[in-house]
A and B are shown apart, each in its own frame.
Chain A
Amino acid sequence: MTDETANLAFARAQMAEALAPPAPTTGTLAWVRQNLFGGWFSTLMTLASLYLIWLIVPPVVRFLLIDAVWDGAGRDDCLAEKVGREVGACWPFIGAKLPQLVYGFYPPDQYWRVNLTLALGAALLAPLLIPRAPYKAANAVVFFGVFPVVAFFLLVGGVLGLEHVETRAWGGLLVTLVVSVTGIVASLPLGILLALGRRSQLPVIRTLSVIFIEFWRGVPLITVLFFATYMLPLFLPANWTIDALLRALVGVALFSAAYMAEVVRGGLQAIPKGQYEGAMALGIGYWRMMGLIVLPQVLKLVIPGIVNNFIGLFKDTSLVMVVSILDLLGQLRATFSDASWATPVTLFTGFAFTGLIYFAFCFGMSRYSLFIERRLNTAHRR
């Protein structure tokens, strides 16, 4: 009996072979294995992605920087046959056309007026966008109330010895900014009124607001611009002549007001009912309730929505080209018809430059909207 138990081995007599160390779960190599080669499908996707990058990035960099022509005076400097090498972007073309792309046909000796307006706008807008800057209310009043008037007289002229400049001469980035800023400044109050109207208890006001909003949201902006350009003059007395740019602005403002109304309505619905009831219990009337209690909360909530709307409007301003108002994109297209710069790379150069401008504006605004969204979200963050 003792012999049998002695032969039974319940415990190991010698040490087990050491296992290989587990695959590292931290560090670069582990990260690469997890995020780039986690399985055959992921590996395949990584390889495909690398191929795609190799296909796109080197040619673009070569075109924009390495092969690019940096100085020259005409098309000969950007022609591969004349230069005797591979030719990328033709930057002298942009240099020559920059005034046209920014100011359109604004008289060159008056460029300072445009520059001053843009600088003034930027100086007023910056503190409005920085959350910590003081005097928000005063700043907003100046930006939305005083600045448009100053900008109008500065750009149009005809007063205080300023030379009168027809809006037909305006163009380029100037028109893009004028149309989008006017659109947003005009559509904000109109949109708020429409949103209030849509939530109103008075049936006639509600119905009219709904019809107005749904009508403009249901049609493409191009038809709105056609409407403003061809149809609106017919509806007005014969002796009223409206400037072409102003007509387009009216169309853009009405169109974006409808979208703005929906953004504001979203904010109105997000305010708890207690806020309204509290205000009513204190005996505050409708307009003061809205102006002092509800709207301040709503507008703060819908800032990201407004900025997104603005991005859309900024991009949509390019459509005014269709009714022969030459904004940045329209001027770009006009520069292509200049035979003294016609080369195979001119088109790509022009699109690259203009694309960078549009991208810088839109991307900047979308980042700002994200920043505000995060700031407003602090209470819910865990």
Chain B
Amino acid sequence: MTSETRPARVAFYNDPRLRGLFYQTLLFAVVLWLGYEFVINARDNLRAAKIATGFGFLDNTAGFGINQTLIPYTESDTYGRVFVVGLLNTLLVAVIGIVLATILGFVVGISRLSSNWLLQRIAGAYVELIRNLPLLFQILFWYLAVLGALPGPRQSISLMGEVFINNRGLFLPQPVFDAGSGVVAAAFAAGVLASIAVGTWARRRREATGRPFPVLWTTLALIFGLTILALIATGFPISFDKPVLRGFNFAGGARVIPEFVALLVALTTYTAAFIAEIVRAGILAVSHGQTEAAYSLGLRRGQTLRLVVIPQALRVIIPPLTSQYLNLTKNSSLAVGIGYPDLVAVFAGTTLNQTGQAIEIIAITMAVYLVISLVTSLLMNWYNARTRLVER
């Protein structure tokens, strides 16, 4: 029994370092082997089924029409262009959906915290109802039941004689920009720039002297005033091409296809319910002492909300909000269920059926969504690092 310590003798298979190395090598080998098997099988299967490989199909003629395109597209265009058209359609519905869902979500979320009992209950019922029904169910409901029940073009529902709704879609007046509208656009831009300048100046002055400045009214006056002045000065160069009923359908104006309307309404209301919960949780996360302190400093209710509560709540709200934006973008792929020509419907659907090149097409489609996700989360990490609470 000596007191000197000797390294305990451990069998080599009990050495955690060696064991870790062994497990990792094993896992790596298994993954490699699986990958090898997949590649070999894919090669044999493709050869047996006589399916072409590679990305050459992107230059082939697509030969099918798409009922909503943001860029010029004809049936004789290539699959590559189909991809771009689909991607743009996905981005269109995602961006508009994100804006609308954010607005609706904040309204509902704040309503859930309202002191008005009835409003609070209605907002709660909305959130519970929407969150507990599948999104595809809601998309189909809007598309088949609600929009499907709309009358034909001749019995269109008309809003003020300018906007028409029927089962062929939504018909809106389309703005036509004549010569001189550049001046109006420049005036609008100048108004926005001036507002930003005023806002910065007002904040500096408030921070230096504590005197407030009515930024909101100045901003509105600058933007709208300048634009309207420019409109009057140039003699209203912007006119509207109005939809007119000709025969069995509308001519002129801009047509929004019903698939887009159904998808947008469903995505917006669905995501808004989740955003409402995030907003509610975020505002509740700001301790009540902050509100009381703001009141005792003499800030009014609106000021307290705007200057004290919301900036702190945003720190809690933004990260989950971003993941809701991502969800909305990913969920826009449900468009395939009602035939809205998004990326999945026209590329992973029609193009895949025509060419049979499943590996390339699904890989491209997945890569697009992955890139969107990764870029968003990188931006998110950057934002989080910037707004992190600086503790002393």
Contacts and interface: CB of A to CB of B under 8 A. Distances in A.
Given A223-B344, A351-B145, A322 B116 contact: no
A259 B370 CA distance: 15
Interface stretch (A88-96, A154-162, A224-232): A224-232
A234 B137 contact: no
A208 B27 contact: yes
A1 interface: no
A336 interface: yes
Interface stretch (B54-62, B126-134, B205-213): B126-134
Contacts, number: 156
A49 interface: yes
B334 interface: yes
Interface in B99-145: 114-119, 122, 128-129, 131-137, 140-141, 144-145
Contacts of B38: 235
B183 interface: no
Contacts of B119: 45-46, 49
A204 B44 CA distance: 30
Interface in B21-36: 23-25, 27-28, 31
B293 interface: no
A182 to B, nearest CB: 18
A354 interface: yes
Contact of A235 (B27, B42, B344): B42
B136 A226 contact: no
B149 interface: yes
Interface in A179-227: 201-205, 208, 214-215, 217-223, 226-227
B136 A49 contact: no
B365 interface: yes
Contacts of B135: 315, 318
B132 A322 contact: no
- Chain B contact residues: over half helix, strand or loop, or mixed? helix
A238 interface: yes
Nearest to B329: A220
B63 interface: no
Interface stretch (A6-14, A138-146, A167-175, A357-365): A357-365
Given A208-B27, A322-B337, A351-B137, A222 B344 contact: yes
A164 to B, nearest CB: 28
Nearest to A38: B115
A363 B129 CA distance: 9
Interface size bucket, B side?
35 or more
A217 to B, nearest CB: 8
Contact of A234 (B41, B145, B369): B41
B193 interface: no
A358 B132 contact: yes
B373 interface: yes
A315 B133 contact: yes
B48 interface: yes
B337 A321 contact: yes
A72 to B, nearest CB: 20
A100 B288 CA distance: 54
B128 A363 contact: yes
Given A42-B115, A344-B149, A223 B348 contact: yes
B362 A329 contact: no
A50 B42 CA distance: 62
Contacts of A339: none
A71 to B, nearest CB: 23
6 contacts: A42-B115, A49-B122, A226-B344, A230-B352, A321-B337, A347-B148
Interface of B: 20, 23-25, 27-28, 31, 37-38, 41-42, 44-46, 48, 114-119, 122, 128-129, 131-137, 140-141, 144-145, 148-149, 330-331, 333-334, 336-337, 344, 348, 352, 358-359, 362, 365-366, 369-370, 373-374
Closest 8 CB pairs of A and B: A362-B132, A218-B373, A220-B330, A35-B117, A204-B24, A315-B134, A230-B358, A235-B38
Given A45-B116, A46-B118, 6 more contacts: A235-B38, A315-B135, A347-B145, A347-B148, A359-B132, A363-B128
